[in-house]
Chains A and B, each alone.
Chain A
Amino acid sequence: MTAVTVDAATKRRGGDGGGDGGQWAVETHGLTKRFGDNVAVDGVELLVPRGCAFGYLGPNGAGKTTLIRVLLGLTHADAGTMSLLGHAVPRHRDLALARVGAIVDEPRFHGHLTGRQNLQILAAAREPAAKTRIEPALERVGILHRADDNVSKYSMGMRQRLGVAACLLGDPQLLILDEPMNGLDPGGMLEMRDMIHSLVAEGRTVVLSSHLLDEVERTCDAVAIVDKGKVIRQGPISQLLAGSSFEVQVECSEPERARGVLRGTAFDAHVAVSSDGLDITLPEGTERDAIAEINRLLVENGLSVYRLQHVQASLESWFLEVTSRLGESE
C-alpha cells in the first residue's frame, strides 16, 4: 500500500470542479456533521481510490449513512471539504452527481408505478441518454421480467435490485451503495457480489457501506472503519489484515501441559486451552517459522501433535480487535 498522507492528498486534490481528472473517487477532509450535540460525522478524512470496491464499515450508529448523505448533498455538512470524482461538492454538485449512482438506506419507490415507470422518472431527471439505459439496467439487475409490475408488489430484494438499476441510469463512475445486501437471499447476495465485481471490472468505483463484515471482505478491495463518526482505519484489506495478530490452532495431547510448555518459551504468545487443543495468538508481525518452532517445542516435550494450523485473520476478527482496542483505551 502506498501510504498517502492527508497533506499530500490535499495538494493533489482537484477540489475546485476540476472534474474527472482527480485521483480519488471520494475525498473528504475534516468533514463534520452535527445533529444538535450529537456529532454524527466527526472530522472524517476519507480517500477512496478509483476503480475499486471500497467498504465503509462500522457498527450501527457509527455515522455511515450520515456520511453518505452528506457526500450526496442530501444534507449539508457543518465543516470540512469534500469532492466526488474530482468535483468539489456542494459547489459543483450537479457535475459530480452526474456520474454518481447511489442507494441510501432502504430503496423506496412510488409503489403505484411499475419498476420501469419509476426508472423513467429518474432517467428524466438525468441526461437524455439515461432513458436508453433503462432496459439494460433492468436486465443487468435481473428484474426485466418484473419491470412492468407495480413496485408495491416487489419484495425487499427486488426493490434493492431496482435501486441498483436506478444507480446505473447515469452510467456512473462511482456507485455508493448503502447496505445493498439487505433483504437479499443467499442467491441474491451472490449475484449482488458478482455484479459489484463486474462493475469494478468495468473501471467503476463502488463504495459499499455495510455492517456485514463477511460480505465486505468477500466483495471489497479496501475498507475504511468508522466508529462514532470517525474513520479509524483505512486501506487495502490485505494490508490491514497483515497488521493483525497471528493465530495458530494446535490439536495435541495433554493441552494443559502443552500450554505450560509454551508459556516457558520466548514466544510472547497468548495461549488458551480449547476443547480439542490450544488456540495460540502471537503478536503482529510474527513470521510463519513460528509455527514450526511451536511444533518442535511440543514434540521435544513428548506431546503428540495431531494438527497444527495457521488461522488466517478475518476482517471480522480484525474489526473486533480494532474496535475492542479502542474500547479498552477509552
Chain B
Amino acid sequence: MTTVSDVAAPAPGPAPAPSPVATRSDHRGSWIPTWGMITTRLMELRKRRGLMIALIAVNIGIPVVFLSVRLISHAVDPKSFGPAGGYSIFTTLVTGFMYVFGFVVAAVVGCTAGSIDLTEGMFRHLVITGRSRLALYLARIPAGLAIVIAIVAVGYTIVCAVCVFAAPTQLSYDGVNVPAGLSRPALDTWAADHADQVICNFNFHGGPGLSQPPPNVTCGGQSIGPPPGTVIRTKGGGTFTVPAAESQAQIRAFAVTVANQDYADYSSNFLSPSTSLMVDVGLWIALEATIGFIVGLGLASLMGQRTVPVILLIILELIMVPIFSRHVLTYMLNVQRGIVGVAMAHIEPGGLPTPFSGGGSGGGNVHPLIPESTLVSSLVIAGWLVFWTAIGAWRMKTRDA
C-alpha cells in the first residue's frame, strides 16, 4: 500500500471554555474508591439471584434445616433424640461445615466479583470513566465482604442461638447425667451423693495411694471388683483381704476419689459453648471467609474468568489443606506451612476439635497438625491476603479492556 503523504487535517473548531469538571479535581485518579462505587458494587453482587441463593443456602439454609430437624425430633421424642443444641452440636457444625463451606462460598463470591465485569463487558465502560483501575478493584473488597460476612454472621448467629438455647439441661459424662459446670468440690459432693453411678461408669485410673481395688458395688446386677474374702497382694508387698461388705462411707469416699481423677476431663465438657468461645470462633470463621473472598477475587482477576478459579479453590480447601495439614512431606514442609488453610487450622480457637477431623474430637487415628508457630501462621495468613490483593490489583491495572 502506498501511503498518501498529503494528509491534511480539517480546521480546528473553537475551543470551548474550560469546563467545571475538567478544572475541578474529583479525585478520579485516586486509588481510594468512593462510597458510591462501593454501594453500587454491593448492589451489583446482591442482585445476582443465583449467587445469593447459593450463599444463603449454604451458610444459613443448611444449618437451619439441620437444627430444625433436631429441634422437631427432640420435641416429638426426647428420649430417642437428643437436644438440638449444645456444645457438641456447635463444634460439629462449626468445624465440620461452616468453616469449610464458608470458605468455598466466599471464594465463589470473590471469583464472581473478580471476573464478572470483564466477562459481561462492563469493565470497558468503567475504565472509560477515567476512574483509577486500582480504585475500581478495591471497591469490590468492602462490597463483597459486606455480603459474605453478613451472611456468614447470620448463619453463625442462628447456630449459636440454637446451641445455647436448645442445649441439654444435663451433661452426659461417661453415660451419666451430671450437672454441667461444677467446681471440683461441687463435683466431689455430687459424686458422694451418686457413688454407685460414679463407681460404675467413671474411669478409674488407679495410681499412688489408690492401691485398694474398687469396692464391691453392684452395677447393672453384676458385682464389680473381687469378691469378698479375696486376698490381694498390694504393691507394698503386703496383703489385703476384700471385706465382706463395704461401708457406705467407704463407697462414698471411693466415688469422690474417682470423681477427682476425672475432674480435668469432666471440666472440658460443656452443655453449651461459652460466650468467649463463640466470639473467638465467629472471628475465626469470618477470617476464613475473608480469606476465601480475597483469594477468589485476586485469582479470578488474574485469570479473567470465574470457573477455573472456583475449581482451584475448592480443590485447595477440600483436598489439599486436609492432606497437607496433617501429613509431613519432609522436602515440602515449608511449602505446607505456607498454605493458608494449614495456618488457619493452627490458629483455631481452643476448645474446638481440630478442623478436617470430621467435626470429631481430633484424636484417635487423626494425625496431628504439622508443626507451625502462631507467629508463622499469622504471617502466612497476612501474606496470602496481601499477595492476592496485590496480584488482582496489578492484573486489573495492566489488563487490556
A164 → chain B closest CB, angstroms: 12
Which of A49, A98, A227 contacts B10, CB < 8 Å?
A49
Q: Are B18 and A21 in contact (CB under 8 A)?
A: yes
Q: Are A98 and B15 in contact (CB under 8 A)?
A: no
Q: Are A231 and B23 in contact (CB under 8 A)?
A: no
Whether A329 is near chain B, meaning CB under 8 Å from some CB there, is yes
Bound complex: CA A100 to CA B19 (Å) = 12
Identify the closest chain A residue to B16 (Cβ). A203
Question: If the complex has contacts A3-B8, A74-B401, A95-B22, are A108 and B122 also in contact, measured as CB distance less than 8 A?
Answer: yes
Inside 8 A of B1's CB, which chain A residues have their CB?
Answer: 227-228, 230, 326-327, 329-330
What string of 1s and 0s marks CB contacts (under 8 Å) between B9-47 and chain A? 111111111110111001011000010110111011001
Identify the closest chain B residue to A48 (Cβ). B10
What string of 1s and 0s marks CB contacts (under 8 Å) between A1-21 and chain B? 111101001000000000111
Whether B92 is near chain A, meaning CB under 8 Å from some CB there, is no
Which A165-201 residues have C-beta < 8 A from chain B?
A: 166, 170-171, 173
List residues of B whose CB falls within 8 A of some A CB.
1-4, 7-19, 21-23, 26, 28-29, 34, 36-37, 39-41, 43-44, 47-49, 116, 120-122, 124-132, 136, 400-401
17 additional A-B residue pairs with CB within 8 Å, beyond A6-B7, A97-B129, A330-B2? A1-B8, A1-B11, A6-B9, A25-B13, A52-B10, A69-B400, A74-B127, A97-B28, A98-B22, A98-B130, A100-B130, A104-B128, A108-B122, A117-B40, A173-B22, A329-B1, A330-B1
Whether A259 is near chain B, meaning CB under 8 Å from some CB there, is no
Inside 8 A of B8's CB, which chain A residues have their CB?
Answer: 1, 3-4, 234-235
Q: Are B11 and A49 in contact (CB under 8 A)?
A: yes
Q: Are B124 and A74 in contact (CB under 8 A)?
A: yes
A23, A74, A120, A124 — most chain B CB neighbours (10 Å): A124
Question: If the complex has contacts A110-B120, A329-B2, are A74 and B128 also in contact, measured as CB distance less than 8 A?
Answer: yes
Which of B3, B14, B23, B124 contacts A230, CB < 8 Å?
B3
Inside 8 A of A96's CB, which chain B residues have their CB?
Answer: 130
Which of A51, A94, A228, A234 contacts B9, CB < 8 Å?
A234
Inside 8 A of B128's CB, which chain A residues have their CB?
Answer: 72, 74, 97, 100-102, 104
B23, B40, B43, B126 — most chain A CB neighbours (10 Å): B40
Question: If the complex has contacts A110-B120, A121-B40, are A75 and B400 also in contact, measured as CB distance less than 8 A?
Answer: yes
What string of 1s and 0s marks CB contacts (under 8 Å) between A293-327 and chain B? 00000000000000000000000000000100011
A62 → chain B closest CB, angstroms: 11
Inside 8 A of B124's CB, which chain A residues have their CB?
Answer: 74, 104-105
Whether A139 is near chain B, meaning CB under 8 Å from some CB there, is no
Inside 8 A of A129's CB, which chain B residues have their CB?
Answer: 21
Q: Are A231 and B7 in contact (CB under 8 A)?
A: yes
Interface residue tally for chain A (C-beta within 8 Å): 84
Inside 8 A of A61's CB, which chain B residues have their CB?
Answer: none
Q: Are A74 and B400 in contact (CB under 8 A)?
A: yes
Bound complex: CA A218 to CA B41 (Å) = 40
Q: Are B129 and A2 in contact (CB under 8 A)?
A: no
Question: If the complex has contacts A50-B14, A232-B4, are A170 and B21 also in contact, measured as CB distance less than 8 A?
Answer: yes
Bound complex: CA A128 to CA B13 (Å) = 29
B3 → chain A closest CB, angstroms: 5
B108 → chain A closest CB, angstroms: 16
Q: Are A110 and B44 in contact (CB under 8 A)?
A: yes
Identify the closest chain B residue to A86 (Cβ). B15
Identify the closest chain B residue to A14 (Cβ). B15
Q: Are A99 and B22 in contact (CB under 8 A)?
A: yes
Bound complex: CA A291 to CA B225 (Å) = 134
Inside 8 A of A69's CB, which chain B residues have their CB?
Answer: 400-401
B5 → chain A closest CB, angstroms: 10
Identify the closest chain A residue to B39 (Cβ). A124
A244 → chain B closest CB, angstroms: 14
Identify the closest chain B residue to A75 (Cβ). B400
Bound complex: CA A69 to CA B400 (Å) = 9
Identify the closest chain A residue to B3 (Cβ). A230
Q: Are B11 and A232 in contact (CB under 8 A)?
A: no
Inside 8 A of A20's CB, which chain B residues have their CB?
Answer: 15-19, 22-23
Whether A113 is near chain B, meaning CB under 8 Å from some CB there, is yes
Q: Are B7 and A232 in contact (CB under 8 A)?
A: yes
What string of 1s and 0s marks CB contacts (under 8 Å) between A203-232 and chain B? 101000000000000000110000110111
Inside 8 A of B19's CB, which chain A residues have their CB?
Answer: 20, 99, 171, 173
Inside 8 A of A125's CB, which chain B residues have their CB?
Answer: 37, 126, 129, 131, 136
Bound complex: CA A54 to CA B129 (Å) = 21
B41 → chain A closest CB, angstroms: 7
Inside 8 A of A25's CB, which chain B residues have their CB?
Answer: 13
Q: Are B129 and A170 in contact (CB under 8 A)?
A: yes
Which A240-268 residues have C-beta < 8 A from chain B?
A: none
Identify the closest chain B residue to A167 (Cβ). B128
